[in-house]
Amino acid sequence: MGLTEDVASREGIIASMEDVALKQFLFLRNLADPVIARFGAAGMGVLDGAFARYGQWRGEGVRMGQASLVAGHDALAFLAHWDSCDFVLANLAGEVAVEGDAAKATLHLPGIPGADYFKIREGRPQLLHRYWAGLLRGMPAGYDDKLALTCPDVALGAPWRIEAAYKGNPGGKIDAEHARASIRDIFAEPARALALVRSTSRNAGALYMFIAREVIRRWDATGELIIREGVRGIARERGSVIRERHLREGKSLNLKSLMLDWDGPLVSTWVFTDEGYLSEGTWHQDCRYCPYADVWSEFGTEGLALGLLYDVELHPTMYETYHPGTVVRWEALKTRGDHLCKFRVSIPELVSPNDPEYRPPAQT
């Protein structure tokens, strides 16, 4: 993946989907755990509110999508136009079933999305359930208040379902088989599959922002410290996983190994300019599109400020976890109000005389 992401094959797209789908649960656990550890039930209550507001934002996105504008609103239309890779990946693990009609429909999955990650990382099962309950509680507020969504609490790994009921006048343009096919047949349309990868990435960036916003609004400077701790937890987990994988594979730990085999889709989703420089000790390249910054900018100065907090905690910690001594710099950064993110990263001990030097932006 990374700068060598395969966007042409089914296998390559699945790999990208698996990565971005994992991120939402990696974010959830690392951000929520320090909040709960510090504030207990009060912390969980604030997280519940963040999940519901995040759900409302996602519901608005589904509502505004072109597919929803054409199909109208009802229970099946909502399930058919789900805005992340969750259902597609669940279908690869075990067939997803859809039954019912426009007024009342049920989506059956082989397990609750996120269960595998929470089992491996020994996360709190109740947190995963609260996340899904809050998300589904909030989505109708953005999509259509005539929709109601519920899900059961089940053991991690047990079959799971989402029940959707619609009390308005249904669009009626989608039946259960159509809804099922929208999940099953997505790889026949690579562009639609890659759009879902990008949408899932935007969701992860939004999840971070809604959690951070609620925690900081409630606990101010202490809340900010806890969010910074959570972001560093995300960075350490990601950096450690890549480092350990590269060591197992016999790869040298350097910037070339890291950026060519990053743990995310840096071709279809994070869009970089073609011009750039990559060696063992130096990486200089400009990012034109970041799905996280795309979301954060929707929320003005507050969203960008929370994005900047994420950037300055995530990147240095992740790179240093992978290779201690790495220096992260930007000539420009979207969360500082710039048009591009101009990454200027180096590992001083691996920099060669032929590598370009970092030049700070000119002072005005």
Residue carrying the six token digits 């730990």? 253
Q: Are 21 and 116 in contact (CB under 8 A)?
A: no
Residue 158 structure tokens: 């047990």
Give the rounded percent of residues in the chain with a pLDDT score beyond 70: 99
Note the pLDDT of residue 362: 73
Nearest residue to 173 (alpha-carbon basis) of 240, 83, 76, 43 = 76
Distance CA 93, CA 257 (A): 30
Query: At 250, phi and psi to the nearest 5?
Result: 75, 20
pLDDT digit string, tens, across residues 280-320: 999 999 999 999 999 999 999 999 999 999 999 999 999 99
Q: Are 344 and 358 in contact (CB under 8 A)?
A: yes
Side chain identity at 19, as an amino acid letter?
Answer: D
- For the chain, which domains are there? 10-205 (3.30.1380.20)
Overall pTM surpassing 0.75 (yes/no): yes
> What is each CA distance from 3 to 16, 76, 265, 268, in whole angstroms?
12, 37, 7, 10
Q: Are 254 and 266 in contact (CB under 8 A)?
A: no
Note the pLDDT of residue 122: 79
Distance CA 363, CA 150 (A): 55
H helix runs in the chain, sequence order: 10-64, 66-71, 75-80, 86-93, 115-120, 125-143, 176-184, 190-248, 255-260, 291-296, 300-322
pLDDT digit string, tens, across residues 77-102: 999 999 999 999 999 988 899 999 99
CA-based max dimension of the chain: 69
